[in-house]
């Protein structure tokens, strides 16, 4: 069967994988892929709460890269799934540093899309000395306007999806959809939180691609992780100060960065990528004219692979 996305490297299994207890509550899943002596790279998944996919390993030349991937707190194979206690951006940054030390890596390329781009920027600004550069996709700066657009802007482009999303919420609560969903998703009653988490996950998933894709049945772990953690982080503005990630770009502005953005991304609109590019002298932005938000849309995945190949040459590995 032909590969549905030929720009990616062939499927690959991890060299090794395991679990790391990061506190008394959370244990995170990690995996190492590629060449143990290659260029170290950290992969940060989106969501928050979405977790890893085997396809995420395929953005990197396995002969030249040593790729470290992990499921963030509450996501994927990490436990407990959907857990919001002890779950903040600052704690995720600490987890990344634990992994870096565990693998004895001094510096690495940081690769992240959507929420992964948010976390990549936050980590880089906290530890610029540990970063070789950045490959970022679908930029999300976790500001109030972006969160408002994620929830309410959908009515302009996907009114049918929006109506389905608000339908379970009583009219008197629709003035604050985020809090209405937080109240339900964080309930202790499975009869309340499961429908809310699944509705949230479906609301996002149906808007990811520019062109309609066959809908895949989401796993319970994905629905709960995305529903609970996205609403948790949005309700707390990502645990950032106002415009923090833009204001602190100077901490990483000396490092190379490639920004890949779908022109018709209605999850993370291009204005955020453009603001980041303008604030980051020397960054390169690749605006993909026929793509939405999905990393696996052909134009986006090709640009991401192109960026890792470019970085490989920059590092003198080719």
* Token pair recorded at residue 229: 């953690």
Q: What is the largest CA-CA distance in the chain?
A: 61
> Per DSSP, what are the bridge partners of residue 20?
28
The 10 Å CB-count burial string (b at 16+, else e) for 202-224 is bbbbbbbbbeeeeeeebeebbbb
Is there a catalytic annotation at residue 277? no
Catalytic residue among 45, 61, 71, 114: 114
Q: Looking at the chain, how many residues does it have? A: 318
Catalytic residue among 78, 265, 277, 301: 265
User: Measuring CA to CA, how many Å separate 175 from each of 3, 106, 118?
Assistant: 45, 48, 27
> Per DSSP, what are the bridge partners of residue 25?
none
> What is the rounded distance in angstroms from the CA atom of residue 216 to the CA atom of residue 222?
12
* Token pair recorded at residue 152: 């309410």
SS3 assignment, position 67 = strand
* Token pair recorded at residue 62: 């396995």
Cis geometry, peptide bond prior to residue 80 (ω within 30 degrees of 0): yes
Is there a catalytic annotation at residue 293? yes
SS3 assignment, position 30 = strand
User: Measuring CA to CA, how many Å separate 94 from each of 90, 119, 241?
Assistant: 6, 12, 18
What angle in degrees, to the nearest 10, is found between the helix axes of 190-205 and 159-166?
A: 170
Collect all residues with Cβ–Cβ distance below 8 Å to 10 and sequence separation of at least 6: 3, 58
Collect all residues with Cβ–Cβ distance below 8 Å to 21 and sequence separation of at least 6: 27
Centre a 10 Å sphere on the Cβ of residue 188 and count the other Cβ atoms it contains.
6
CA nearest to 51, candidates 19, 32, 28: 28
The catalytic residue positions are 114, 265, 293
């Amino acid at each position: 069967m032909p590969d549905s996305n030929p720009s990616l490297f062939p499927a690959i299994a991890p060299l090794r994988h395991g679990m790391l207890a990061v506190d008394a509550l959370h244990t995170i899943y990690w995996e190492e892929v590629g060449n143990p002596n290659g260029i170290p790279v950290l992969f940060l998944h989106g969501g928050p709460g979405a977790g890893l996919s085997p396809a995420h390993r395929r953005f990197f030349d396995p002969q030249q890269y040593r790729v470290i991937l992990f499921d963030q707190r509450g996501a994927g194979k990490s436990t407990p799934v959907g857990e919001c206690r002890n779950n903040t951006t600052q704690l995720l940054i600490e987890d990344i540093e634990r992994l870096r030390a565990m693998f004895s890596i001094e510096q690495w390329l940081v690769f992240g899309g959507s929420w992964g781009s948010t976390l990549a920027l936050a980590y880089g600004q906290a530890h610029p000395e540990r970063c070789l550069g950045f490959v970022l996709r679908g930029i999300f700066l976790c500001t109030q306007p972006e969160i408002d657009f994620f929830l309410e802007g959908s009515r302009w482009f996907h009114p049918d999806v929006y109506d389905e999303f608000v339908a379970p919420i009583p009219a008197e609560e629709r003035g604050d959809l985020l809090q209405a969903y937080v109240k339900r998703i964080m309930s202790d009653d499975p009869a309340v939180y499961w429908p809310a988490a699944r509705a949230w996950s479906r609301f996002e998933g149906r808007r990811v691609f520019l062109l309609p894709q066959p809908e895949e049945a989401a796993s319970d772990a994905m629905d709960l992780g995305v529903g609970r953690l996205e609403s948790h982080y949005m309700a707390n503005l990502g645990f950032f100060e106002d415009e923090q990630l833009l204001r602190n770009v100077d901490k990483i502005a000396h490092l190379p960065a490639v920004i890949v953005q779908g022109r018709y991304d209605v999850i993370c609109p291009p204005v955020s990528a453009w603001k980041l590019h303008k604030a980051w002298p020397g960054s390169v932005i690749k605006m993909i004219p026929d793509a939405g938000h999905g990393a696996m849309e052909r134009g986006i995945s090709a640009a991401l692979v192109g960026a890792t190949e470019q970085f490989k040459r920059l590092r003198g590995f080719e």
